[in-house]
Chain A
Amino acid sequence: MSVQSESVEIALDFDWLIGMMAMIGVAWERDGPWVDGTPHGGTIPACNQTGTRSAAMTATAEGSRAAAPRRIERKPLLRSGQAQGLALVSPTLAYALILLAVPILVVVAHSFWTQDYLTIDRSFTLENYRIALTEPIYRDLLMRSLWISLVVSITTVVLAYPIAYFISFHGGRHKSLWLFLITIPFWTSYLLRVMSWKVILGYNGVLNSGLLALGVIDEPSTALLYNSSAVVITLTHAWAAFAILPIFVSLEKVDRTLLEAATDLGDGPIRRFVRVTLPLSIPGVVSAILIVMIPTVGDYVTPRLVGGKDGVMIATAIQAQFGKAANWPLGAALSVTTMAIVTAMAAATVFLIRGAARMAR
């Protein structure tokens, strides 16, 4: 059963990776140095190769039609879109298999073994899963991680939707400029962005000094940093662009004539939004939620830096098992459990939102 959810997880993760790559591609395409490295640079020679190959095949086929019937049979295969497509994705596919699927299989294998001081006992056991699911500390950390990621993804999407809506419907000629501006925070590293939230939320931070200067508070608040809301704030900001882009894309696809039709049939702007725009942008909302939710469950850096004791998440515990505690099998079992639960949660989200959209009609 766990193996099955594993493969679902891989597939989801893979989709997510492709989505991320495409977005980073969009963000960086304007920037000179990356142009050579983008997939665009890579596809052109590949296309040429295929073109030359099929041309050669045609020549061979015409030259010796009677002598080499087998080659004639093979020609449609090489020319087929499927074969070309496979040739184009194979480097990425190989990369994904070696660096994604294999490590995950190693982790899954470990989760059924036992740490025996310095060696690994390779007899099959479910003990690690028992510990992962029943020990209060792990259960609580897991619940907290899931809760935080759920809150983060919902907050992010709620905040991102109006921005995406504004760019799509009121961006006018400057749509690409707006999208470009949104990617600007991503020019600095993730770590620096998290650190700057520390500067904003800290005891002597920007927010506290500002509120002090305004006389709203008498002494700096310690409630801002080192708790789960600090984690939520930081992650929401960090993932905003990844939520804005898919929502923007799905809003762009909404045929504007449909909105006129809804108006013509008597809907005011709000009804029209609820009955047409929102249902048609649901695919973007679903992918935004998934894009934010899946990686935030396992986030390690943010809780570590701004979470304090109150904001510790499951990734910290997993890291401890692979590090100081030196219990790889337990760490592996915790990872696999997390992945399985995230998969279930992602699937539940998709069904819930689709169902809600159907109800709204």
Chain B
Amino acid sequence: MPDKTMIEISHVTRSYGPFRALDDATLSIREGEFFSLLGPSGCGKTTLLRMIAGFDTPTSGTIAIDGQPMDGIPANRRPTNMVFQSYAIFPHLNVEQNVGYGLKRLRLDAAEERRRVDEALQQVSLTGLGKRGATELSGGPRQRVALARALVMRPKVLLLDEPLSALDKKLREQMQVELRRLQQAVGITFVLVTHDQYEALGMSDRIAVMFGGRIAQVASPKEVYQKPVNRQVADFLGGMNFVKAEVLAENDASITVQAPGFGKVTTEKPPLYSRNGAGATLGIRPERLRVLWDDATAPHQISGTVVDRHYFGEITHLIVQAPGFEKPLSVSETNNYGADDIPVGAPIRVAYDPDALVALAD
């Protein structure tokens, strides 16, 4: 994949009076990349997307698309197209007319226009439904119409504003796969806004995690999940066990902490880590704590008692109270070996790999 920058966002701030919806965001998105803006509601992700599309103007800072600064360029003259959260299908037009809406302005000859509409309909598997009234369709197909309508314009960047949030779980998972496949087929830069971490992790090449108008971390899904820069990011992307620790030593690359229960641990230093007094937080994902069955042993293990459990079909969450730990640990174990049969109150031993422990900035 060429590493050419498609969208360059530098020091973009958007204020509404004293409130900063987006605070000094700097980001570059590569050509042909599937990029996600992930965060809770009100984190500024939609504001940023709308500024890329041209529906909102930065209070300060600049946005450039494909090397062209976008200052003063209205939404209708930007090389971007958007799939709206509500789909925004024109109710007075049929599927074909919706898809061909933007092409009308290009004054293509009839055959070429026809060909491009058919191609777009085929890309989203809606072939044959062109004459259908747009309002007769249900959520899934409507979404495809919105997608085809944007794709047919062959934009440099396709913007997706929580496109899957209105679909049921099954359909959402199916569309995730299709979106990813489509993106790879057309090679257009996709920018997706979502609050669903699984959606972002499953589809993206890279993710920007946002909180309170600021970009907290930009990295690949794996890195964001395994090496979150701070507690907020770690917590937002699935659960994590947090333990307060004391910093013993630190250098440019690593940090050594003393944590109750885990003892002395040396880990990679998070990139944005800044010393906050003498304390640090150590975290470990629930699935990185494995149950030790019968008399199996491991070099690093913790003993405790099951105080609660939650059954989720393929996995069970065991809440384990262990001596030395301030708060109970959450352990996620597959049900292949009978984790769902462990009764509350039973003694338990769990093993962990010290590499799975991450130091977090608070």
A interface with B by C-beta (< 8 Å): 255, 257-258, 260-268, 271, 275-276, 279-280, 357, 361
The 9 residue pairs across chains A and B that have the minimum distance between CB atoms = A265-B102, A261-B88, A257-B88, A263-B75, A266-B105, A263-B76, A264-B82, A279-B92, A266-B76
Nearest Cβ distance between residue A178 and chain B, in whole angstroms? 25
Contacts of B156 in A (CB 8 A): none
Contacts of A262 in B (CB 8 A): 90, 101
CA distance A260 to B90 in the complex (A): 11
Nearest Cβ distance between residue A168 and chain B, in whole angstroms? 18
Contact of A280 with B91 in the complex, beta carbons under 8 Å: yes
- Beyond A265-B153, A266-B105, is A258–B74 a contact (Cβ under 8 Å)? no
Residue of B55, B97, B102, B150 near A260 (CB, 8 A) is B55
Contacts of A263 in B (CB 8 A): 55, 74-76
Contact of A271 with B105 in the complex, beta carbons under 8 Å: yes
CA distance A265 to B98 in the complex (A): 10
Residue among A261, A264, A357 having the largest count of chain B Cβ atoms under 10 Å: A264
CA distance A243 to B84 in the complex (A): 33
Nearest Cβ distance between residue A273 and chain B, in whole angstroms? 13
Nearest Cβ distance between residue A60 and chain B, in whole angstroms? 44
Contact of A261 with B90 in the complex, beta carbons under 8 Å: yes
Instruction: Say yes or no for B129: interface residue by CB 8 A criterion.
Output: no
Q: Map CB proximity to A onto B94-114 as digits: 1 under 8 Å, 0 otherwise.
A: 000100011001100000000
CA distance A263 to B81 in the complex (A): 10
CA distance A271 to B153 in the complex (A): 17
Contacts of B92 in A (CB 8 A): 279-280, 357, 361
Additional 5 contacts, C-beta under 8 A, given A264-B150, A267-B76? A257-B84, A263-B74, A264-B80, A265-B105, A267-B105
Contact of A361 with B97 in the complex, beta carbons under 8 Å: yes
Contact of B84 with A261 in the complex, beta carbons under 8 Å: yes
Contacts of A264 in B (CB 8 A): 53, 55, 75-76, 80-82, 150
CA distance A276 to B92 in the complex (A): 8
Nearest Cβ distance between residue B356 and chain A, in whole angstroms? 44
CA distance A271 to B75 in the complex (A): 14
CA distance A321 to B74 in the complex (A): 65
Q: List 25 A-B contacts (CB under 8 A).
A: A255-B86, A255-B88, A257-B88, A260-B55, A260-B82, A260-B84, A262-B90, A262-B101, A263-B75, A263-B76, A264-B53, A264-B75, A264-B76, A264-B80, A264-B150, A265-B101, A265-B105, A265-B150, A266-B105, A266-B106, A266-B153, A271-B105, A280-B91, A280-B92, A361-B97
